[in-house]
Amino acid sequence: MERLVMGILAHVDAGKTTLSEAILYGSGSIRKMGRVDKGDAFLDTYEMEKSRGITIFSKQALFPLQNRMVTLLDTPGHVDFSAEMERTLQVLDCAILVISGADGVQGHTRTLWRLLGDYRIPVFLFINKMDQLGTDRQTLMKELKAVLGEGCVDLGCLVEESQEKQRTACYEEIAINEEAALDEYLETGSLTRDSICRMVEERRIFPCFFGSALKNQGVRELLEGLYQFLRVPAYSQEFGARVFKISRDGQGNRLAFLKVTGGRLKARMLLEGRGDGTAWEEKVNQIRIYSGDRFQTVEEAEAGSICAVTGLNQVRPGEGLGIEAGGWLPVLEPVLTCRMELPEGVDAAGFLPKLRQLEEEEPQLHIIWDEALQELQVRIMGEVQTEVVKGMILERFGVKVDFGRGNIVYKETVADRVEGVGHFEPLRHYAEVHLLIEPGEPGSGLVFGTACSEDMLDRNWQRLVLTHLEEREHRGILTGSALTDTRITLVAGRAHQKHTEGGDFRQATYRALRQGLMEVGTILLEPCYDFRLELPEKMVGRAMADLEKMAGRFALQQEGEQAVLTGTVPVASLGDYQKEVASYTRGHGRLFCTLKGYEPCHNTEEIVERIGYQPDRDTEHPSSSVFCSHGAGVIVPWNEVKAQMHVESILREPPEALRESEIKALSADSRRREETVWMGTEEVDAILARTFHANRKEKGRGNGSLVRKAVNSQTFGREAAQTYIGKKGRTQGVLSAGGWV
């Protein structure tokens, strides 16, 4: 039987869970439809969900769709639980986006649409609540095309008993979205099912269906459309899986929810991974197939299945297994950090391990212990999530906690390109690391790689340096906020044949990065919203003045009798402005916000002064280096390190700019070396001729003999590198086809 994983997403209160109930009921999976307002929905199984009437945790259910078995993933619709929703996107084959016909495209709907595009997921739209007064099919289709794109097409007439004229008009509307489809339509007057399926799969069109989930109207047509116009992906024969969720059952057993993306997962199977940069190997104890809160155990799960596995205690959400090896980075992140206030008598250090269980299930919480402030801190998306976390802690651990006022989560990035140097040489230890630190693309996070010759530093040491870079969050120097949007490349290093240990490179790596940041400086970044403000024309002056005070950037346009302001505004400035809009427009204004990402802070000096971070006093992130002098370790400040370093700087005699193609990336996603074409022997001979006398002075020292050996044997392949020996006999750089590295 063919298998398919389908997600259902929506803005809160659009009727997403009600549609899930209708789909399960229509397919015969449940005997009666539950209701959210009555607390008996099949997929809202937690008490907090029943009491609040919202979905908090993603759940799954199975239902047959003719010759296919579909796993339906119901996701949270409230913006505070967007991280839970986003984790499911990495395992979806398709998605149903539910839109309320009474409300149209709302703010969070735009965020969902953008995420579905980022993950390249085929989308079907179900416009719900069409039984309410004032809803009009044609008007809503115009809005969908205007806001979401011309690819939104009403395909109801292709699965309903429609007149030939309506079907022809539908084919024409589909065909204008692609040249090949248009040629087919002009030649035959229609489109084949395969052509429509291909366009859906390639996200050229987005089929739209209308109805009322509560009254079970339009659901049958939606299911028929899903069957007709959705292809089942071809899965690999080699085993692979992607973990998207961690939770615990009633007995406290840790459950890893994953999708099998290739081959078969079998009970008692040994799996390997690299959670948090550390290699692990564990055995699958039990495989469970959940539907609602009930499950059955199976001996194996085939490709396309969603299952929960016990026995995997090291795996983390987003981690890939088998052919899916590699990590996953979320797009949505919390923008607030709160102090967790514990009741008297509860020791923070003893309570922290319990909180780690919650962090496993919700990694975006980022629960940390701030040693300097002696307090627990948690990152959250909003007030509703705060209340839910408090309820979970009370229910699970019997501790009533509270949260302080939320503060904005700032980040930092480097201001320019720099080479950071770290040296660690107390008695009987030795390691030196050189990192090229450069600004990255906005939203790219931290990207690590290596461009260091293995003749200079063995490959195992290079891998160790990258592991240490990946294993922790790095701080900036302005406010101590997390470093982001930075490319860090290992370009040089040195180990001692006798005295170097693994821990030495950890110290040298941390110090190299910090030394570079202290030298080049950082830029403070703040989270920003993309906003759309709709309000009566006569009140636009007030709104523009408010946005200017908030350091917002905006444009004005007219839509009928309303003025529309669109642009970007800092999260910190916006605050509760939505309530203010409702007040001064007397309910006629609407503000829609979606998280855009991080941009340079508009009031850096004020924030830096308020936080008062002192980088020199941050003992966990030292910028100094340790050198050996007269048999003892000596601490050298960051601004004097380069005067005493042992490996020559690659930027001392500036080489040609390091290009992306020269970086042999060994990131968490891939440790494979790239094919590199090295320089020929004639060009290296010319360099040797110019430096011959310098090499004679220190015969056989350094890498000179290595270069000569490489030239004589002509071993210019992936494992060979040529080095340039400077006048002092020190390594000056690594020469490859692209230029100086």
pLDDT of residue 606: 94
Report residue 652's pLDDT band, with 50, 70 and 90 as the boundaries: low
> What region, left, alpha or beta, does residue 413 occupy, with left being phi > 0 and alpha being psi -120 to 50 degrees?
beta
| Reported confidence tier of residue 688, pLDDT bands at 50, 70, 90 | very low
Residue 372 pLDDT: 65
What's the average model confidence in pLDDT over 118-137?
93
Q: Looking at per-residue confidence, does 42 or 461 come out higher?
A: 461
Task: Pick the more confident residue, 695 or 308.
Answer: 308
Q: Which of 387, 411, 415, 414 is nearest to 401 (CA)?
A: 387
As a whole number of angstroms, the distance between CA 70 and CA 486 comes to 41
Tokens 């945790």, located at residue: 57
DSSP annotation string for 642-687: HHH-SSPPTTSS--SPPPGGG-B---SS--PPPP-PPPPHHHHHHH
Express each pLDDT in 382-416 by its tens digit: 778 888 888 888 888 889 988 887 788 999 999 89
**What tokens appear for 715 in the block?**
């071993």
Model pLDDT, residue 64: 92
Domain 412-520+615-662 falls in which CATH fold?
A: Ribosomal Protein S5; domain 2 (3.30.230)
Share of the chain above pLDDT 90, in %: 47
Does the domain spanning 526-600 belong to CATH 3.30.70.240? yes
pTM: 0.70
The reported pLDDT for the residue numbered 166 is 85
Q: Which CATH number fits domain 240-322: 3.30.800.10, 3.40.50.360, 2.40.30.10, 3.40.50.720?
A: 2.40.30.10
Mean pLDDT of the chain: 83
Helices 383-397 and 348-361 pack at an angle, to 10 degrees, of 120
Run of H or E including 628: strand 625-629
Note the pLDDT of residue 707: 32
74 φ, ψ (degrees, to nearest 5): -90, 125
Residue 145: its pLDDT value, please?
Answer: 93
User: What is 527-554 written as a DSSP string?
Assistant: EEEEEEEEEEGGGHHHHHHHHHHTT-EE
pLDDT > 90? residue 734: no
Helices (H), 27-153: 47-52, 82-89, 107-118, 137-147
For residue 649, pLDDT beyond 70: yes
Q: For residue 71, what pLDDT is reported?
A: 94
Asked if residue 518 has pLDDT above 50, the reply is: yes
Over residues 607-630, the mean pLDDT reads 91
Write the pLDDT tens digit of every residue in 690-712: 444 444 433 333 333 333 233 23
CA distance 384 to 51: 13
The residues of the chain that CATH labels 3.30.70.870 are 336-409
d(CA 418, CA 517): 8
Helix 179-188 vs helix 193-201: crossing angle, to nearest 10 = 170
List every span in the chain annotated with CATH 3.30.230.10: 412-520+615-662
CATH 2.40.30.10 residue ranges for the chain: 240-322
CATH for the stretch 336-409: 3.30.70.870
- 484-493 pLDDT tens trace: 999 999 999 9
Average pLDDT over residues 247-267: 91
Q: How far apart are CA 164 and CA 167, in angstroms?
A: 5
Sort strands 264-266 and 300-302 into parallel, antiparallel or unpaired: antiparallel
C-alpha 49/C-alpha 53 separation (Å) is 5
pLDDT digit string, tens, across residues 181-231: 999 999 999 999 999 999 999 999 999 999 999 999 999 999 999 999 999
Question: pLDDT at position 696, please?
Answer: 41
Q: Is 238 exposed, middle or buried (0-12, 13-18, 19+ CB in 10 A)?
A: exposed
Domain 2-229 has CATH 1.10.10.10: no
Split at pLDDT 50, 70, 90, the class of 722 is very low
Q: What is the mean pLDDT of residues 453-465?
A: 92
Query: DSSP of 117-135, one letter per residue?
Result: HHTT--EEEEEE-TTSTT-
